[in-house]
Chain A
Amino acid sequence: MTAARTRRQQKAVAGPYGKVGQAVNELDDRLGIAKGGRSFLDKIFPDHWSFMLGEIALYSFVVLLLTGVFLTLYFVPSQGLVQIPKNFTYRPLRGQWVSQAFYSTVNMSFNVRCGLLMRQMHHWACDIFVGSIVVHMARVFFTGAFRKPRETNWLIGGTLLILAITNGFLGYSLPDDLVSGTGIRIADSIMLSIPVVGSYISFFVFGGNFPGDIVISRFYTLHVLLIPAIIVGLVTFHLILLVRQKHTQFPGKGRTETNVVGSPMFPVFMAKTQGFLFITIALTAALGAFVQINPIWQFGPYTNISDISYAVQPDWYMGFLDGLLRIFPAWEWNAWGHTIPLEVFIPAVVFPGIVFNIALLWPWIDRKFIAKDHDLHNLLDRPRDVPRRTAFGAAFFALLAILFIASSTDVLANFFHISLNTVLWAMRVLTIAVPLITYPVAYAICVEMQSGGSLIGKRKTANVVMRTAEGGYVSVAAPYRAEDQHHELDATPVPTFIEGDEPAVDELAAATPGVRTVER
């Protein structure tokens, strides 16, 4: 019965879909994938460009994972001292006693082919990762995509941002160079500033007094194993929720609260998103090839803890903390034999705590104060239509932006030839003033855009100037050109079967009926 079948017999068994159909049958027998697989392939993804910002984050994370694996093959997470060989490529480091973490990183940069490329791609991908999370989160915020039923996804996303920032800090601290070592010293002091438990936290993290001999390898475990595992898990859950709840969409032609209009997963969305993955990798590779980042050999090792450099900053995503630490007044609470350094505790612990709590709890804050409804929302808001949320977000970002700028007070003073003291005072004033000004300005812009008619944000047509017979000039708006107008067809359901797409017909057999063709 199951003797060697002729091709025609096999074809008959397989049905009109050939080998693919056969594979589907086999898999479905074992895994039951047919129904779920089809609905998965049919899934519609709305096409708006701002929905792809999360993909930037996802794909830069993929780059982080791939390049990170390469790095772990060479990096030695140990603070044990080793002497750099006298014939090392980079002369100023020859013979110096440095930690193995530093040496393995510098060695990877100079002596491992593509090592420096992987290091730089990894670091650039991290900057892009955190940046795209922020941009993606801003899009979700301003369009109200965090509303019911997507609050859980918002919480996951906010947690991912915190984890990404933390992992970035841990990662660039691993090479144990002078600049990142200073950052670790500051982190230790921040831990110490926490009342009651601060010194315990510091001693537990460092295994004793600063610097100890174990903090780099503990950072390594967190950076390579624990936090990436949590991130991968959360990202997976984030995407599962997205698939299950389906993506939101802007209101428009044919779009309702109960449908999704866009491109199907297979083949269109898969092609576009896979292409975008490659483009993200390409951009990271280009940055890694042409723009240097974190040249730790120029900074030197952190073996002597009394070394310091001027103009040391953390990576950009920690910049808002550094800025607030610089401009905060020197308030210290000291009574009853205890000290709380408020000038550290408030900027570095309390403030980010408030910021991230507001961010994470925003769906509920929004529901209480802004939207005041408990409905399900699958259609997005245009930011101008929710002026209070938009203005609050703008003011929030303005505050963070000012704090970022405040972390470069010395660069500003140097560049503009202003006294550093003046710049610092200016930053203190701006930190209060700018958000307070941004809120009403943004609010007013939203209101104006609402009532400004349908021409706001659209490409303007040409003004045709005509001369009348009397000699005067009249300008008339020209009509839209065809290519300037957005033409969208009516949406159609995803086709299960495409009519007119017959399976391939043996033309010869069709042309000469009665003749039996034998396939060998």
Chain B
Amino acid sequence: MGMRTSPLRAVARLASLSIVGVAGLSWLAPIADAADTSTASTTSTTVAASPTIVVVKTLTPAERALCPTGTRATPGTPAEAKALMNENGDTARQNAGTAYSTVQCFNASGQLVAYGNQAIMYHLPLTNSVTLALGQQLYLAHCASCHGVDAQGDPAAGHAGKYPDLTGLGPATINFWITTGRMPAADPTDVQAMRKPPKLTGAEAAAIAAWINTLQPATPFVPSVNLSTANLADGQSLFALNCAACHTITGGGDALAKGTYAPTLHWATPTQIAEALRTGPGNMPRFTGNLSDAQVRDITAYVTSTIQHPSNIGGLGTGGLGPVAEGFIGLALGVGLLMLVTFWVGDRQ
């Protein structure tokens, strides 16, 4: 069921930590990203002599400041990540998109409300009686007709095989689909839902996400990317290796197999980019665990700065379509105009 707030939670966590540390379960992934690409390293745990021993250090004031006011900051633990596991499984790697991050922030009731690091902070949408009531009301009005009254989905219906079960996917998933306008779906029988102007506001999306999260709490929370520390060059090479294969190197998107397509990246906000990377919507792979938060931050910065504002110093961009468009212009405008000139220069008999 849902997470019950308990005053003893902190004590229990400390105890489990030591057990875990001593027992050395094999799913405790290596702590440090030894060869992180970003020049500003954000992982703050030390490299352990053996990957099975968790060395918990105290947080620096800068790291403490990452938590929202009124919350308590503690160093990240794997247990919290496991407790909040996404229905689709999660990574054991630290600072790679799960609650096992540099810092975790708990509210007065002992509920995890945020986690993350200098690169990205993930926040739980505001969860109180008002937002939950609003969220449920909005859900019933806009979503329940396909996804069911209790968000469990409908396996048999829909073109794509089912109207998915929305529980246990984390608030970021819900927030992504609503804020990009893909949901509520214009045509539920479409192979792939299209981005369109969102029907619900960001606050409404957050309320719905908060309510669904109470049904089965999970991560990832809604990311907030710290673009100021990003390294654009790393972002470019990561984008070329991981993203360009579907979205094209200029981010324009294109048709993929069997009616699916990679959408253009020109409208995505930093939050939506990080959400997509961390949740893997639709046919997109999920980049949790294989990319660290620093790498996601770098990619997000690259997309929002360079992909969305390309450096077209050479004149009008040809739509990022590549040589096909350039050839068309060269033939139509170049050879075509010159042929028109020959009409003037020569005889037409």
Interface, chain A (partner B; CB < 8 A): 47-53, 56, 90-96, 109-110, 116, 120, 123-124, 127-128, 131-132, 135, 178-179, 250, 252, 272, 275-276, 279-280, 283-284, 287-295, 297-300, 304, 306-317, 319, 407-408, 410-411, 413-414, 418-421, 423, 486
Contact = CB atoms under 8 A, between A and B. Distances in A.
Contact of B318 (A276, A291, A317): A291
B70 interface: no
16 contacts: A56-B339, A56-B342, A92-B232, A94-B233, A128-B330, A252-B349, A283-B337, A283-B338, A298-B310, A298-B320, A299-B250, A316-B323, A411-B254, A411-B321, A419-B258, A486-B349
B241 A306 contact: yes
Interface string B300-333: 0010011000111111111011111011111101
A309 B342 contact: no
A279 B254 contact: no
Nearest to B337: A283
Nearest to B317: A292
A314 B246 CA distance: 18
Interface residues of B, number: 62
B345 A300 contact: no
Pick from A124, A272, A306, A411 the residue with the most CB of B within 10 Å.
A411
Q: Which secondary structure characterizes the binding site on chain B?
A: helix
Nearest to A280: B338
Contacts of B256: 420
A105 to B, nearest CB: 13
Contacts of B254: 310-311, 410-411, 414
Contacts of B310: 295, 298
B334 interface: yes
A94 B232 contact: yes
Contacts of A272: 345
Interface in B215-264: 232-233, 235-237, 240-241, 244-250, 252-259, 261-262
Contacts of A292: 312-318
Nearest to A302: B240
A303 to B, nearest CB: 8
A120 B314 CA distance: 8
B341 interface: yes
Given A310-B248, A410-B254, A92 B342 contact: no
A49 B342 CA distance: 5
Contacts of B338: 56, 128, 132, 279-280, 283
Contacts of A304: 237, 240-241
A512 to B, nearest CB: 49
Contact of A116 (B247, B313, B341): B313
B3 interface: no
A135 B338 CA distance: 11
A95 B314 contact: no
Contacts of A299: 249-250
Contact of A310 (B262, B311, B330): B262
Contacts of B348: 48-49, 486
Contacts of B252: 311
B335 interface: yes
A56 B342 CA distance: 9
